[in-house]
Structure 1
Amino acid sequence: MLSPAVKSDIRACYQTLQAQLPHFVPRKVQNYLVAELAKTLAGDYDNKRRLFVAEAGTGVGKSMAYLMGAIPFALNNNKKVVISTATVALQEQLANKDIPFFRRICPKPFDFILAKGRQRYCCAHKLSAVADTDSIQGALFTQKPKQNEQRLLNDMYSAFSRGKWDGDRDSWPKPIADHLWQAIASDKHTCHAGLHAHRQCPFAKAREAMDKADVVVVNHSLLLADLELGGGVILPEPEQCLYMIDEAHHLPTVARDFSAANASLLGATGWLEKLNQATVKLGNTADMKRANRFVDSLLDAIQLLIPTLRDTNQIISGLPLNEDGCYRFVDGELPDALVEPCQQLKQASKKANQSLAKIHDLINERLKENDISAKLADPALAESAFFLQRLENLEKVWSLMAQPNANKGAPLARWVQRCQEREDDRWVHVSPLEVGWRLDQMLWSRAAGVGLFSATLRALNQFSYFCRQVGLSENDGTRYLALPSPFDYANQARLIVPAMPCEPQAKQFTDVLGDKVLEYLEGETASLVLFASYWQMHQVAKTLEPHCRRHQWQLLCQGTLSRGALLEQHKKAVAAGKTSIVFGTGSFSEGLDLPGNLLTNLIITKIPFAVPTSPVEEAHAEYIEKCGGNPFLQISVPEASKKLVQSVGRLLRKEEDSGRVVLLDRRIITRRYGQSLLDSLPPFKRVVEQ
């Protein structure tokens, strides 16, 4: 049950919030969201399953709601709050604005930190080494730094030594080239607190600060990275955490990508040959008496890996590639000729990885025991770490490739692709189709409590599609909530479906679009037009450019400028009373914030159906068909519903906003699924032209 102390702290937060914001308008839906989240975390609905899924429309104020519902509960129950987002923009909003403000109104003090992955921090020891031109930098660099690059490294070391820089790549004022950063970036193999020289590394300090913080802000990728390692490695233990997962509709894709793996065949033989040449030297540094059996084991594994990779490339080279240079294995099943090589590569890569890890550990031990100087150990550790990272990936690829398809559940998607850099080489890819069971295993069944939030979690007004993606069930004890936006949609905006001479599948549709888009731009000063493809966007832009020049309209196309610069130009033109039009594709349907008079006219050219073109999407559709389902109705329509809701969500950002949405796709009226799509949209006043 929710304790009196937590209730009191939440009430105090709310009262202080009202006092600090003179124009604050209480929202019943926000209050309800806070209360339901807090009760779920307290186990009021299900003591064993404290999971909360909430779709909260624009204007509800969900960020403040989950801060108010989760942080007081965590502080009173000795738990930590981990907030995960999909975008940098929301991370920065939380870390720079929302959480500092909430800390001022919260009756109990708390600390928070914006957490980043290890690779975003430099290693102080490596930085010191590369700043010393007589030191070990040859082992750390893939190419010798130029004079200006060496000056940059020296400047970074000087700033770090004087406490003027914290070692975070993102806080350095200028861009740092990838090859330079890779030489000094922290890595799990060589940078750990067990080695004295690395105890003051930026990541070690950040990890220490993370352990002390009550609230940790991360992105979905870092969250998944920690969970894949077993949880509690980078972030606090799941059993001690309340996870507030914002922008949760992105979680299934991020989780799937994290479980996927790929590697080239001949490319791998190249670095394996270099490892073969370096193995004895690494063994000597580790002390050959102790490392001898691991050196022999590693050399044996490499001698099997290299020819088997070449033979496998020969077999794969005979497969018929499609126009994109891909070949996907139907149902994820490998041909007989590949089954044995995949098993051999799995076993050999595992053996190589384990053997090199032992050699690496022995070098670490000698360094720790002062049995070897840092001058000798550091280059060997850097070199072995370089190869270890590649061997770990190689083992993951071939373990997944060799894994037989299970009798139950979806198979793995497996495909090969031509290497662009080298015509005779092939990339091998493997990816799961469904990741819900992994999320349940890693997170839902372990966490002290979880809240999942987004403005678009439901598809076709139901949570079932999202549940299937993330491994939840609608009757497993999880608490579900769909909260409407406080906006008065019927009076603030109209949805217009114009009469059209044809539907999007027709060849002449793009030609028709030019005239129709122009018709609905006339008389409007701030417009956003969303297209299904870059090609179609550019075709319509070419058609409209003469008219725009003649009438001095500003036409801004996605890709001509950075997103921030493009929106800044749009804002300046609107502020000056000029007509400004933004053309964008699907990525502009989410996260684009143009409140007030910055957007009053939103034109959507097509229902955003995604064509299953990637091997993973094709494999998923194939699996659903095999199970007797309909991929279009089970995947395409629900996904289109979510994207369409996101698209129309660009129009009204604040309660005083107004405008219109124009949908130039008559299928929403003429097709059977169209009514379901319409019903999932906000209750705009509808105008359907005949």
Structure 2
Amino acid sequence: MSRVEEQFKKLSKLWPDFESRSGQIQMANSVEQAFASSEHLIVEAGTGVGKSLAYLIPAAISALEGEEIVVISTETKALQDQLIRKDIPLVSQILGQEVKAEIAMGASNYVCKRKLGNVLTQGTFGPEMMEHLNSFKDWVSNSESGRRQEYDGYASPDFWSKVTREADSCLGRSCPNFSHSFYFLERAKWQKSNLLIVNHSLLAAHIASDFNILPDFKKIVVDEAHNFPEVLGNAFRIELSSLEIQKLLQGIWNSQKKSGLGARLNSPKINDLTNHAGEKLFLCFNKVVGELPLNFYGSQRIRRPLKMDGGELEAALDSLQEALLIELKKYSKDSDEIEEKEIAMELEMSSGRIGQIAEGLHLFRTMDEGERVYWADPPNTKTKEMFPKLLTQPLKSETILREVLEPRTESMVFTSATLSTNKGDLSYFADRIGRLPSRSKLVASPFPYEKNALLFLPKDIKDATESAERNAADLSRYILKLIELTKGGAFVLFTSNKSLNEIIETIRPLTDLPIISQLEMGPEAAKNRFLAEKDAVLFGVSSFWQGVDIRGDKLRSVILTKLPFQPPNDPVLEARSEKLKEKGGNPFKDLQLPYATTVLKQGFGRLIRSEKDTGIVSLLDSRIWTKSYGTDLINSLPPAKRVTEWNQLKLEYSKLPNYSSGEAV
């Protein structure tokens, strides 16, 4: 018997409802072996396996015995909360010793006491905060972490931006608040932890910052790993927004208000150089507009270097950066004077950002840095942006994972309920993480899908490519029938905002059930409203296809309106497809279909979250029947009972177990 098996035997004494699951122990043994042998591991563990305990127990043992930090990375806050509040305390009980665990968050999640003091002293808060300041100050006085997620009062987004930490402008050890800084006290706890819980974005930012955010670690578990490669690629993205550059320049010198860093420096030269750069900014992005085809609705690839303004904006920014660096020599971050420290930090931050922008512009003019994809996004009308945003990122995040992260680790464990495609094939995910030398394991869900879930696959829905109007009518008809059948308790999930808005306007006047739109309320508020309302129906897009965990009778139906393929004109997908074609590959088969399979499995997974959940998953896309890949997509899903006729669905739904009444327990 392995050590982890011995620990699981203790669980039944600590947790009366615990049932030993062979799949959970198999996974735990695999994780233990991977850590002991310094190997990498890919584990698909179906919903209900209990994968968090299966990796936490061996991770805790490894951390305690090796006196090291094991990092656990997740995508969702809900899973982080579960780990820190429920699972890790249980692991401590099982092992008979404290497992020190901390949640690490990005710097902007922590209140900066210096910035807060400046805002309160200078009165630079908006009128919306007047009646809330006392409660905010009371919370800061009593909080141990200063994390904004723990504050349950009101604070406007503008206020948060003014009082939370900025890495670029932090005085660090030179700050008078350093010894009681929320962020640095938390970082000290990170160093002493056995298990450090992070989210994918922070882990990716840590890698992109040359490993400067988190403590050193050699072992890592990436849970909810299906999206990690995409998050990692995004962390290395460069964005050039004319509006953001303008804000940065105005922070240095605002000629209309006579304010900014230049005013504090009393430097006419820096003010003049900033004005000059602002003029060149407008001219440069005007030239960019002339080089790009008109497209107000979506991203467009940039396939060849842009002429832009021939480098005039770069030159103006280089001159400004040089002047800022010369000015920086007059100030010291180690000064006893707070104002001098702040000016030194602001000069360092501003010059650094100016340099990064100049380098980004150079990239778009030369495209001389390895394999990258370049594109432009349309102006953001909400922020009244005038010009397109320029973006570039590495073409292959798997190269970053293999060449940057892997050499610094001994063992990486990747796990999720949805890593495989058809028939347990893990090759797509293995490709996405750079074909690391790794072992793999598939652990099936123990849930009785055949008894508890129905998969409704109607055959009479018009293909949207043949008639968008007929397709919308068919969708509306079936959605209305389905939500009435289950008396609400439904998610209706879309792949586009446009389609959601069209269908919800049709449905609302035809039902008395509470209809909630993610697009109107935002994801968090929409979810909370769904949980609070009886028999509600939530219309959602991408964020509700995955990561949402609602157990019990509250959610009885998940309606998937369309197969979740990526838009073929997505710049990164398009570039990856071209590279694959050059090597003789098939982009649809090797990229688009595996991606859609993974997301479809995630969408299905919203319904059955425990062994007593029941209900219907409906897939209202005719391509399941008309395309050759339809069978493979359906076969990749859990083995729910399949139904194609409406009358049969009504009958089968009436026969589902009713666990809340005691039936079938």
Question: TM range, normalised to the smaller chain?
Answer: 0.7 to 0.9
Structure 1 residues 157 and 453: CA distance shift in structure 2, 3 A: same
TM-score, scaled relative to structure 2: 0.84
Matches within 5 A, 1:452-531: 452-460=414-422, 461-471=424-434, 473=435, 476-500=436-460, 502-507=462-467, 508-525=470-487, 526-531=489-494
- Counterpart check, 1:191 vs 2:173: no
Matches within 5 A, 1:81-92: 81-92=70-81
Given candidates 201, 216, 221, the residue that maps to 1:244 is 221
Equivalence for 1:220? 200
Once residues 250 and 16 of structure 2 are traced to their aligned partners in structure 1, the CA distance between those partners, rounded to angstroms, is: 69
Structure 1 residues 608 and 532: CA distance shift in structure 2, 3 A: same
**How far apart are residue 319 of structure 1 and its match?**
2.4
Equivalence for 1:60? 49
Equivalence for 1:415? 376
When structure 1 is superposed on structure 2, of 394-403 and 208-217 the one drifting more is 394-403
When structure 1 is superposed on structure 2, of 169-178 and 272-281 the one drifting more is 272-281
- Are the counterparts in 2 of residues 413 and 433 from structure 1 also a CA contact under 8 Å? no
Structure 1 residues 678 and 147: CA distance shift in structure 2, 3 A: closer
**How far apart are residue 440 of structure 1 and its match?**
2.0
Once residues 248 and 540 of structure 2 are traced to their aligned partners in structure 1, the CA distance between those partners, rounded to angstroms, is: 42
- Are the counterparts in 1 of residues 530 and 536 from structure 2 also a CA contact under 8 Å? yes
Given candidates 523, 530, 554, the residue that maps to 1:598 is 554
RMSD value, Cα: 3.6
Structure 1, unaligned stretches of length 5 or more? 139-143, 286-294
Secondary structure, aligned partner of 1:197: coil
Matches within 5 A, 1:474-623: 476-500=436-460, 502-507=462-467, 508-525=470-487, 526-549=489-512, 553-561=513-521, 563=523, 566=526, 580-623=536-579
Secondary structure, aligned partner of 2:196: strand
- Counterpart check, 1:662 vs 2:662: no
When structure 1 is superposed on structure 2, of 274-283 and 554-563 the one drifting more is 274-283
Once residues 365 and 235 of structure 2 are traced to their aligned partners in structure 1, the CA distance between those partners, rounded to angstroms, is: 19
**How far apart are residue 484 of structure 1 and its match?**
0.9
Secondary structure, aligned partner of 1:54: strand
**How far apart are residue 34 of structure 1 and its match?**
0.3
- Counterpart check, 1:401 vs 2:364: yes
**How far apart are residue 425 of structure 1 and its match?**
4.0
- State the AA in 2 paired with 1:194: R
**How far apart are residue 225 of structure 1 and its match?**
1.7
**How far apart are residue 150 of structure 1 and its match?**
6.4
- State the AA in 2 paired with 1:32: Q
Structure 1 residues 654 and 170: CA distance shift in structure 2, 3 A: closer
Cα deviation 1:610-636 (Å, max 9, x = unaligned): 323444444444444455544333332
- Are the counterparts in 2 of residues 167 and 202 from structure 1 also a CA contact under 8 Å? yes
Once residues 139 and 360 of structure 2 are traced to their aligned partners in structure 1, the CA distance between those partners, rounded to angstroms, is: 41
Structure 1 residues 580 and 306: CA distance shift in structure 2, 3 A: closer
**How far apart are residue 424 of structure 1 and its match?**
5.4
Matches within 5 A, 1:667-682: 667-682=623-638
Secondary structure, aligned partner of 2:23: helix
Identity within the alignment, %: 27
When structure 1 is superposed on structure 2, of 80-89 and 510-519 the one drifting more is 510-519
- State the AA in 2 paired with 1:677: L
Secondary structure, aligned partner of 1:431: strand
Figure out how many residues of one structure are paired with residues of the other and give that number: 635
Structure 2, unaligned stretches of length 5 or more? 647-665
- Are the counterparts in 2 of residues 625 and 631 from structure 1 also a CA contact under 8 Å? yes
Structure 1 residues 68 and 165: CA distance shift in structure 2, 3 A: closer
Given candidates 605, 611, 630, the residue that maps to 1:649 is 605
- Are the counterparts in 2 of residues 12 and 106 from structure 1 also a CA contact under 8 Å? no
When structure 1 is superposed on structure 2, of 483-492 and 344-353 the one drifting more is 344-353
**How far apart are residue 103 of structure 1 and its match?**
1.9
Cα deviation 1:184-234 (Å, max 9, x = unaligned): 332334434431514222111111111111111111111122222221x32
- Are the counterparts in 2 of residues 130 and 153 from structure 1 also a CA contact under 8 Å? no
- State the AA in 2 paired with 1:398: L
- State the AA in 2 paired with 1:512: D
**How far apart are residue 55 of structure 1 and its match?**
1.1
- Are the counterparts in 2 of residues 495 and 663 from structure 1 also a CA contact under 8 Å? yes
**How far apart are residue 647 of structure 1 and its match?**
1.5
Once residues 127 and 529 of structure 2 are traced to their aligned partners in structure 1, the CA distance between those partners, rounded to angstroms, is: 38
Equivalence for 2:106? 117
Equivalence for 1:292? none
Cα deviation 1:220-266 (Å, max 9, x = unaligned): 111122222221x32111xx332111111121221122111212347
- Are the counterparts in 2 of residues 279 and 299 from structure 1 also a CA contact under 8 Å? no
Cα deviation 1:13-40 (Å, max 9, x = unaligned): 3232111111211100000000001101
Once residues 166 and 606 of structure 1 are traced to their aligned partners in structure 2, the CA distance between those partners, rounded to angstroms, is: 43
- Are the counterparts in 2 of residues 417 and 428 from structure 1 also a CA contact under 8 Å? no
- Are the counterparts in 2 of residues 156 and 165 from structure 1 also a CA contact under 8 Å? no
**How far apart are residue 353 of structure 1 and its match?**
5.0
Secondary structure, aligned partner of 2:392: strand
- Are the counterparts in 2 of residues 415 and 428 from structure 1 also a CA contact under 8 Å? yes
Once residues 563 and 299 of structure 2 are traced to their aligned partners in structure 1, the CA distance between those partners, rounded to angstroms, is: 30
**How far apart are residue 101 of structure 1 and its match?**
2.2
